Structure 1
Amino acid sequence: MRIWDLPPSELCRQHLLGEHRELHALWSIITKNKKAYSNHPETLRWKGKLHALYLRHENLVSEMQKRGYNHHSPLEPTFATGESRQDTLITSIDEQKEALRKKGCNCKI
């Protein structure tokens, strides 16, 4: 499970769409109090920050639409509570960029 801390415009197709899918899973885990992955580091860093996660989703959707992808899975805005800024990182921005470089994909990093 991975929500990147990089601008969506820097992500290749695979990572953009993959993050969107993972974000929906994370949203479901937190908003529905699911046990699976509830103690995962990525889940823990977003607890209390659903507003920030909602905004990340909107940024991903905006980038997807710029690239011509359809989007039919909006998040429920009434659940978008808590902090509006994610300031907790699991890995630094530089480490995230290096991880993407190693993947040899088309991310613009």
Structure 2
Amino acid sequence: MRIWDIPPKKLCRNHLLGEHRELHAMWAVITEGKKGYSLHPETVRWKGKLKALYSRHEELVSEMTRRGYSHQSPLDKRKATGNSKQDTFVDSPSRQIQILKKKGCDCKI
């Protein structure tokens, strides 16, 4: 489970769509009290920062739309509470770039 801290326009198709899918799973874990991945470090860093997670979702959706995907899974904005900025990282953004480079995908990093 990962939410990247890299601009969505730099993500390849697989990482863009994969992050979108995982973001929805994380949103459900946090907002609905689901157990799966509730203690995962990536989930923990977003607790209390649903405004920031909602914003990340909107960035992903914007990029998905720009690439021609049809988005059909909006988040409930009323649940977007807490901090609007994410400043806690499992891996720093520079480390995330290194991780993506090693994957050999089409990310533009």
Where on the TM-score scale, by shorter chain, does this alignment land: which range?
Answer: over 0.9
Equivalent residue letter for 1:87: D
- Following TM superposition, by how much is the alpha carbon of 1:94 offset from its aligned partner in structure 2, in angstroms? 1.4
For 1:76 and 1:93, the matched residues in 2 are separated by 27
Unaligned runs of 5+ in 2: none
Matched, 1:96 2:91: no
Residue identity over aligned pairs, in percent, reads 67
Q: Deviations over 1:57-89 (max 9, x none)?
A: 000000000000000000000000000000001
Write out per-residue CA displacement over residues 26-79 of structure 1, whole angstroms, 9 at most, x where no aligned residue: 000000011121110011000000000000000000000000000000000000
CA distance in 2, matches of 1:68, 1:33: 33
| Post-superposition offset of 1:92 | 1.1
Q: Does 1:46 align with 2:46?
A: yes
Normalising by structure 1, report the TM-score. Answer: 0.99
5+ residue gaps, structure 1, are none
Q: Write the letter of the residue equivalent to 2:90.
A: I
* CA distance, structure 1, for counterparts of residue 92 and residue 46 of structure 2: 16
In 1: Cα distance, 2:34 partner to 2:57 partner: 20
Residues of 1 paired with 2:86 and 2:48: CA distance? Answer: 10
Mapped to 2, the partners of 1:36 and 1:62 lie a distance apart of 28
- Counterpart code for 1:58: E
C-alpha distance in 2, partners of 1:3/1:11? Answer: 12
How far the C-alpha of 1:8 sits from its partner, in A, is 0.3
Q: Within the alignment, does 1:15 sit opposite 2:53 as a pair?
A: no
Distance 1:93 1:49 in 2: 18
Matches for 1:1-109 after TM superposition, within 5 Å:
1-109=1-109
In the alignment, the residues of structure 2 paired with residue 36 and residue 22 of structure 1 have an alpha-carbon distance, to the nearest angstrom, of 12
